[in-house]
Chains A and B, each alone.
Chain A
Amino acid sequence: MFTQVITFLIFFAVIGCILYGRKLIKTEKIDAVFGNPERAKGGIHWVIVGSSFLLLTWLYYSWDIAKAFYPKSANELCQVGKVNDSLLSLKYLFPIEERQFKSTFVIQSENKNIAKIALEIENTSGLRDQDKNKLLSLVAKTKNTIPLLTNEKLLENEIKVKIDELTKKITQLTIKFQKESYPEETTEDENKRKEEAVKEGEWGASGTAVEQTIEIPIIPKTRKGLKFDAVSKELKIISDEFFKLRNHNPDYKREMKEIKDEIKKYRSDLGDAQEVASTLAKDILKIARRIEYASIFPPKTLNGMNRAILEFDNVQKKEQGYLRLVDVFLFPSGTIVSSGPSCSEQGSGRWLPKPSDTLNKFILLLKPSVGFKNIPLIWYEMMDVSKIIGFILPDWIADIIPGKYPVHSEDGTVKPNFKSKILKIVTGEFKLFKIPVPMGHIWDSFLRVFLGLIFGIIIGVPLGLFMGLNRFAKGFFDPLIELYRPVPPLAWAPLVISVLGIDNIGKVFLLFMVSLSIMIISARAGASGTQLSKIHAAHSLGASRWQILRYVIFPNSLPEILTGVRVAIGMCWGTLVAAEFLAGTTGIGFVENVAKKYFQYEVIWITIFVMGMLGLLFDITLRKIIDKTIPWRGKG
């Protein structure tokens, strides 16, 4: 219901916005010529159209529209899938979806293989002439078994009758299929089926989102579904029967037995020295047995059956009726497939979860008690302020205080002294008041990017400015920066992680490396890009070196620096996720990596969205900062 409303809303929004956009063009000022940036301003309505198209594509390719408008179609298509499943093993023997009969293909390739092995025997050195002759005669014999299978005259009457019988069965099934009353079902059976179908439920949430759910109900709910279900069962019996059928006439059997016995005897007679010959003989036997196993029939024998199957296929397509249209238009790139005892979505519906499923899963993951791998996505925990004090104060303060740490006494107690009390303070092992601090996968990822970026800015910006203003700094640091900058940050990842460990230090350091080079380059470019006239003006007004740096050069390079920060954020996100892929216990990248192992497509998409959103958030914040702090940008 919800999805239906959304779909209609999107349609109306798109149409409305397009109409509005066209109207706007007509009332446009004439003086804004092509190329004038004024023409690109505004246009919220096109944003709506763009987002609507995104959402619509998602709804469409995740088959959520099909689910909303034809909730029963999945169950019915599942029954059609059953028919296709039964038909598949029959179909592939015939030139229906292939170019030629399967047996033609087998004969073709086996003839090739026979020629190949004959050539191999000829060319094998160290083979006695008598072995060569023997093996070649065996090859020839094997080759001669094929005509025994394809000769119409040798075809046994029994087999012929059997094939006719199976053909007739298919034809009858085709006729029965078209009847309104097929299959006959007593009211009792019908009630029972409907009851079970209700128990099984509707086309539900995806099996990867919620454990132990049946995604697509397999008990036929509708009359049409029942028809396909019944046909698939009958067809399966016919298909199995045909599959067992082999054109092994007495002549062929005799010949085959002879080959087998001969090879067996020949191999047992060979000594250890003739191992090559023995292997070759075995290979010949393999070919002979492959021919034996393939269902090879005389060329025209199966024509009737081919026709019957084609006709059945046409009828079953016709019987699908509106379902066929639904399948083609509402189940793009894929469909419902039946395999064994269950039906499943195969195609884009499988790896592109439905928006509703994704939203539900996201809400579930957001619950702090659920989270992912027992860690919430984002939540808070109460932390004692003492921990922060312990983190800030170095532990060696306690060590340099005169005296010794307490030793346990004879009655088995430990008396704290001044030194041990200090140690407790510097390690943060005391109680103060508690404050809430954020935690969770999203927070951890955010923090890593943030720290990497901050360190990069703190070190990179002064260094960059220095390099832009000082010959020594430029010359000294240039080789270092220029050598490591072009290396893709991920190339450092394995090294950094094995040196600095898999904890936050390694990841933050990696991100620091990423942001540092960008910050240096942008600060340097900003500093050296300052207009000389401004510096001269400040100088002649009596500004000191520091004042020139603070009031002329720094404000002038700020636009470049902040652009650098925006670039760095993007690079940091990309690197972070890959670094979290390598090793880690928290973070968005870790969530995605683990979700992939369990094929949880919803979670994978959620992580992708979260990353997109966080990246956007960073960017928007920065844009606001830029607008607020450097209004002179682009006007210098």
Chain B
Amino acid sequence: MKKIISFILGTIVALNLSVSVANAAANEVRVAFFLEWPTPNQEDKVKKIFDKALGVPVKWTNFSNGGAMTDAMLAGDIDISYSQGLVPFINAVKSKAPLKLVDIAMEYGMGGTTCVTSNASGITKANASELEGKKVAVPLGTMAEYVFDESMKVVGADRGKMDVIQMDPEEGAAALVSGDVVMACLFGGNSIKAATAVGTRLLTVQEARDAGILGIDITSVTDKFMKENPGMLRTFIEVTHEANARYAAGKSDMNVIAKDAEMKLGDMKETIGGFKFLTPAETKKSMESGNLAGFLKGMDTPSGAVDTSFLPN
């Protein structure tokens, strides 16, 4: 009996003491990113410019959706999430996760995130209300869900009457091809390409832009990393903006980016062409009073999740 009691007490004490042991001295920086989502700073990633600029090794891990990035950040496995969708970030902040938004990775139209209806179903923008009662694949809790919601408002279809199936982009594209769903909302160049092979975009890029549907990807960071390594965070953002400037000047090595994004050069150029990389000044404006601020407000985000102090001047 005594042994049992001492075992139980010992376990309780051990559990209480197991405080999360995270990156105290920051011997490496762990960054999350997406495949099929080309960005200029991937050139720096491949050429180890980040490692040199930060002075410590940078470990990049790829994810399939922004929600998983949040999970990894909360578990203490990731310090910085680059180009996380704004929607997963907002969901995380709403559930009181200690994360901060420190930079905008890019703004994009429907080029990168879109809804595709299958040609076999014959549904287009004109008769979109026929979607009601049918199955649609949407990666819930991501930017694609936001695009889906907004698109449905534009075409005048009722989301509540559809069978919304939770599917990640790759699966959504496959389900569209096999005819399981009549529409799939997805992101990522390869997935969109697979889907548009058998379907058509519900809204063209231009139509979406006219309707004001805008995607925003951000850089988010854990509170702990931000407090303990402000210098590194600052440098990370600075290098990223330098890469963006280099891309804007047409000096980026597109082959390297395409290879790192695991895309064909042509597809990659098309995808990245739909992105708008903001300058530091534009970013600050967007975060304080522009698109991003409006987006956050529209989604009832708790205040205090945005920090502009790390942007390069």
Contact = CB atoms under 8 A, between A and B. Distances in A.
A227 interface: no
A328 B140 contact: no
B154 interface: no
A234 B93 CA distance: 27
Chain B binding surface SS class: mixed
A576 B175 CA distance: 19
B64 to A, nearest CB: 12
Interface string A586-619: 0000100110111111000000000000000000
A92 B53 contact: no
Interface in A112-140: 113, 117
Contacts of B231: 290, 293-294
Contact of B56 (A109, A208, A286, A501): A109
Contacts of B12: 332
B298 interface: no
Interface in B83-104: 91-92, 94-98, 100
A333 interface: yes
Contact of A585 (B94, B98, B164, B305): B164
Interface in B49-89: 52-53, 55-56, 67, 70
A105 B26 CA distance: 10
A373 B235 CA distance: 43
Interface string A340-354: 111011100010000
B38 interface: no
Contacts of B178: 498, 501
A95 to B, nearest CB: 11
A226 B163 CA distance: 52
Contact of A88 (B56, B95, B140, B227): B227
Nearest to B67: A597
Chain A binding surface SS class: mixed
B31 interface: no
Nearest to A599: B95
Contacts of B67: 596-597
A89 B95 CA distance: 25
Contacts of A97: 24
Contacts of A593: 166
Interface in A490-506: 498, 501-503
Given A333-B18, A502-B180, A598-B91, A110 B55 contact: yes
A294 B140 CA distance: 42
A367 B97 CA distance: 29
A187 interface: no
Interface string B297-308: 000101111000
B166 A502 contact: no
A287 interface: yes
Contacts of A597: 67, 91, 140-142, 166
Given A208-B96, A501-B178, A599-B92, 5 more contacts: A212-B300, A286-B52, A286-B235, A502-B175, A599-B91
14 contacts: A109-B55, A212-B300, A286-B235, A290-B55, A293-B231, A293-B234, A333-B16, A342-B302, A501-B178, A502-B135, A594-B141, A597-B141, A598-B95, A599-B91
Top 3 closest A-B pairs, CB basis? A597-B141, A340-B304, A344-B96
